[in-house]
Chain A
């Protein structure tokens, strides 16, 4: 069975009189080890889909199964547990705690699953080493460049060995050179066996993936495999 399986999921927001159908029956399957980009213009519903896949939200209708667990039926606490163990988020705005050191930021997910202090420390150091930032572990986000901040965020996403690395516009706040660095890091993580899902509106970024799903008006418009020849980055 696929790692991610959504069956005809809907997300309906009611705002006063208005009813917004952000997602209108999306069915998608993503296998373990895949590298998928979700594309679409703003307002297309791609962020809503990402929030659902990332277990930040539950669908109004339809079924979402993540690693054989029926996520749409889970309680708030159980969802928090899934986010903690199965999902590694990478955000456009990095979303690091400004007052905490890089190391503490990376340790954060481990705090919430009760990992003992020493083990937590070791795991966070290992994750920082993977993104090549061990020498910056005591720096606060404000003392790091944009690219470095995003690498800390990636280390945080990886620290718990999640099933999915979920990156929402990971290069949206970076210049093109740094974007290339971050994307090649993401490519590397995929080639090491991680399941990667990026959400983007840029074709360039999307083309790093092996499969691109484009969303329009809350529905899947296209779902295509990207042949090696058309891919960006080194594979």
Chain B
């Protein structure tokens, strides 16, 4: 077989000029590294959002004063809306027969203290006992608060794993007293670790009964978020329509005006997210592909120089019986070796950068097969596209002229 020998010859030639080869593949390395990092970051982002959303069941939807903003105009329009209040929850619970459960949630940030330790700007949520039936929390220890806890405004709390880790390492957290803001709460339950997304630690939260939340923090300025579960996924659309009509009546929205609240489902958020990441992916990958193309041009340039420099070598090879395609392959292998090794280095570097970012920014990165395949595919493609012309030049040289080339 001639082909493996040609690949070996090409590899030797690449290795013979280590510095030159290294500099040549730098462009490819940088390009593939950035493509790899971007794809990993986007993949990680999508996956963490998907996982968050999967906590919302398929038959659940969310009502909020403002849930989606896609433009400045929309922001200024929506900012005028009235908050969603507890009376809306009552109206839905009473009249929407397709709705199984409604759980309102208010949210704030407060510092949380235990003995002499404290955590600042922890998410504190006030909600009803059925929240845990709608949102899929894994309870690691203890329990979520009960309707009675809510009814009698008991100062109890259900905390995220970060709180446990920070305050109760090696200690049973249940029964301990935390200070949330200015008030004291007894820990009755701990959630399983959920990890972080977008640099946000999703385990740093405290959930308390809504009744006592309102007492401590007052009525939420931005209103309540309603988690609403329809009886089944089949009646989800009807349940949403029902809820919409009830809310419009309740909030006295004129028939010729649009809703003054937003309704979203996990699916609708995902759909938006996918559109968004698709645009982002095309944009960012497109931009970083430019550096891969520039890298390809560098490879082509060096290969042209190499062919000229080695005219005599080409003549020698042709005189002793190398065919045109042997030289074509030899030089094509050379540019492929350059771009592919650049691609492989880029994939490894991208993976390492992704790992470093995970550590530094608590960002979730997913070094996916897609990124690896894309990296290898791009570098192979660039090697072929930019390698073919110099290789053809080498193959087309007239052996007699090449032999007498000085």
User: Is the pair A56, B317 in contact by a Cβ cutoff of 8 Å?
Assistant: no
Interface flag for B322 (CB, 8 Å) = yes
Q: Mark A16-34, 1 if CB is under 8 A from B, else 0.
A: 0000000000000000000
Interface residue A204 (Cβ < 8 Å from any Cβ of B): no
A109 CB-CB contact with B under 8 Å: yes
Which residues from A are CB-within-8-Å of B326? 112
C-alpha gap A77/B321 in the complex (Å)? 9
Residues on the A chain within 8 Å of B319, using CB: 54, 56, 83, 89, 95
Name the one of B6, B16, B312, B400 contacting A56, with C-beta atoms under 8 angstroms. Answer: B400
Residue of B nearest to A120 (CB): B5
Which residues of B, 5-28, contact A by the 8 Å Cβ criterion? 5-6, 9, 12, 16
- Given the known A-B contacts A95-B316, A97-B313, are A112 and B400 also in contact in the complex, defined by CB atoms under 8 Å? no
Q: Which residues of the other chain, B, contact A41 by a CB distance below 8 angstroms?
A: none
- Determine the chain A residues whose CB is within 8 A of the CB of B65 once the complex forms: none
Closest to B9 in A: A111
Closest chain B residue to A95, Cβ basis? B316
Interface pair A80/B16, CB less than 8 Å apart: no
Q: Which residue of A lies closest to B395 (CB)?
A: A76
A162 and B325 CA atoms in complex are apart in Å by: 23
A84:B320 contact, CB within 8 angstroms? yes
Residue A178 CB within 8 A of the other chain: no
Does B171 make an interface contact (CB < 8 A)? no
Interface string of B115-128 (1 = CB under 8 A from A): 00000000000000
Query: How many A residues face the partner with a CB closer than 8 A?
Result: 25
Interface check A51, CB cutoff 8 A: yes
Cβ of A91 within 8 Å of any chain B Cβ, yes or no, is yes
Is the beta-carbon distance between B400 and A83 smaller than 8 angstroms? no
Q: Say how far A203's CB is from chain B's closest CB, in angstroms.
A: 24
Chain A residues 49 to 88 lying within 8 A of chain B, measured CB to CB, are 51, 54, 56-57, 76-77, 80-81, 83-85
**Residue numbers in A under 8 Å from B9 (CB-CB):** 111
Is A142 part of the contact surface with B, judged by Cβ < 8 Å?
no
Report the minimal beta-carbon distance from A69 to chain B, rounded to whole angstroms: 15
By beta carbon, the residue of chain A nearest B316 is A95
Closest to B315 in A: A95
Interchain CB contact (< 8 A) of B321 among A57, A97, A113: A113
Other-chain residue from B321, B324, B400 in contact with A51 (beta carbon distance below 8 A): B400
B58 in contact (CB, < 8 A): no
**Mask for B374-400, Cβ within 8 A of A = 1, else 0?**
000000000000000000000000011
B99 CB to nearest A CB, Å = 77
- Say whether A114 faces chain B, with CB atoms less than 8 Å apart: yes
A211 interface residue (CB < 8 Å to B): no
A85 to B322, CA, bound (A): 11
Among B2, B313, B320, the residue within 8 A (CB) of A83 is B320
Judge whether A111 and B2 touch: CB under 8 Å.
yes
A151 within 8 A of partner (CB) = no
B1 interface residue per 8 A CB criterion: yes
Cross-chain contact B320 with A109 (CB below 8 angstroms): yes
Chain B residues within an 8 Å CB radius of A84? 320-322
B250 within 8 A of A: no
Binding site for B on A (CB under 8 A): 51, 54, 56-57, 76-77, 80-81, 83-85, 89, 91, 95-97, 99, 108-109, 111-114, 117, 156
Q: Which 3 A-B pairs have the closest CB atoms?
A: A84-B321, A80-B323, A109-B320
- The residues of B with any CB-CB pair to A shorter than 8 Å are 1-2, 5-6, 9, 12, 16, 312-313, 315-326, 399-400, 403
A-B contact pairs, 27 of them (CB 8 A): A51-B400, A56-B319, A56-B399, A56-B400, A76-B324, A77-B324, A80-B318, A84-B321, A84-B322, A89-B320, A95-B316, A95-B319, A96-B316, A99-B16, A108-B320, A109-B321, A111-B2, A111-B5, A111-B6, A111-B9, A112-B322, A112-B326, A113-B2, A113-B321, A114-B2, A117-B5, A156-B320
